């Protein structure tokens, strides 16, 4: 009688494939149809009460613009920009600092900060009330840009400036600011990541996991989260300390 059962190695391989497949599908179901995405974003959520009268609002752009010929910002940057415009029109601030040193593909070197300025002017904000901060170019150098901004614009009391960012980056921005500002004010633009429908949750889960597993540990390792007043804190714009000889 013929025995058509696979060898033990084939059976072991088949079981492993089944386990991996079931685990991957279970994880996908959890991301798309459970509160897991909202829970992960709450781990990075940092939102301060807004002052009645601040000096300025810094709209911190996302690092991933859409590569269009007109220099279109991504949705996350547009949502942050809307929050900054809202604060300006409510009279809480007198200046908007458009922040972002990432160049948009196909625009001849236009940065997200410059695209923000153009958008604000379309909304009717006077040019003299807009400051562009893109002195240091690069996707991963927004922290250096932030330090450059604080050292350049000494007319502001940075304890009275509102920093607008997204839910997933708000904790990192706060930790960075604490190295330079005694009492930073961080405002989440709109916590849409927490209430996103299932079609967006996989992308947003990937973003927040990148924040938790890579960005926050990397900034911690490079001493960018040192306390305000610590003489050994990272003072950029230079390379992180562990790259130095």
Number of Cβ atoms within 10 Å of the Cβ of 105:
12
What is the mean pLDDT of the segment spanning 1-5? 52
Task: Choose between 62 and 127: higher pLDDT.
Answer: 127
What is the mean pLDDT of the segment spanning 113-123? 92
What is the mean pLDDT of the segment spanning 200-227? 82
pLDDT at 66: 66
Task: Indicate the DSSP class of residue 160.
Answer: G
Task: Choose between 87 and 45: higher pLDDT.
Answer: 87
Provide the H-helix boundaries in the chain: 8-33, 36-42, 75-89, 112-122, 142-152, 167-177, 198-210, 216-221
If pLDDT is split at 50, 70 and 90, which confidence band does 206 have? confident
Write down the pTM of the prediction: 0.80
SS3 163: strand
| Average pLDDT of the residues of the chain | 81
Distances (CA, A) of 64 to 92, 112, 214, 238: 28, 9, 17, 23
Residues 45-66: pLDDT tens digits?
Answer: 888 999 999 999 999 988 776 6
Angstrom distance (rounded) from CA 163 to CA 161: 7
Instruction: Give the start-to-end residue ranges of the domains of the chain.
Output: 52-243
What is the mean pLDDT of the segment spanning 127-134? 94
* The pLDDT of residue 237 is above 60: no
pLDDT at 14: 79
124: left (phi over 0), alpha (psi -120 to 50) or beta: left
pLDDT at 161: 94
Chain Cα centroid distance, residue 149: 17
Is the Cβ–Cβ distance between 98 and 117 less than 8 Å?
A: yes
């Amino acid at each position: 009688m013929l025995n058509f059962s696979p060898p033990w190695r084939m059976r072991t391989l088949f079981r492993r494939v089944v386990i991996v497949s079931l685990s991957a599908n279970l994880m996908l179901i959890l991301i798309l149809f459970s509160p897991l995405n909202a829970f992960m974003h709450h781990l990075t959520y940092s939102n301060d009460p807004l002052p009645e009268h601040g000096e300025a609002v810094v709209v911190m752009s996302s690092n991933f613009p859409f590569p269009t010929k007109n220099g279109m910002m991504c949705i996350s940057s547009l949502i942050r920009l809307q929050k900054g415009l809202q604060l300006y029109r409510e009279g809480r601030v007198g200046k908007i600092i458009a922040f972002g040193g990432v160049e948009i593909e196909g625009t001849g070197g236009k940065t997200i900060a410059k695209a923000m300025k153009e958008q604000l002017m379309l909304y009717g904000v006077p040019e003299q009330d807009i400051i562009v901060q893109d002195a240091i170019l690069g996707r991963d150098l927004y922290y250096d840009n932030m330090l450059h901004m604080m050292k350049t614009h000494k007319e502001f009391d940075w304890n009275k400036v509102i920093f607008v960012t997204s839910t997933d980056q708000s904790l990192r921005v706060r930790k960075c600011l604490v190295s330079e500002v005694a009492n930073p004010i961080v405002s989440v633009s709109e916590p849409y990541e927490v209430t996103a429908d299932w079609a967006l949750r996989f992308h947003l889960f990937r973003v927040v996991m990148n924040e938790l597993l890579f960005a926050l540990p990397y900034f911690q390792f490079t001493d960018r989260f040192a306390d305000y007043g610590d003489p050994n804190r990272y003072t950029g714009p230079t390379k992180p300390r562990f790259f130095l000889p």
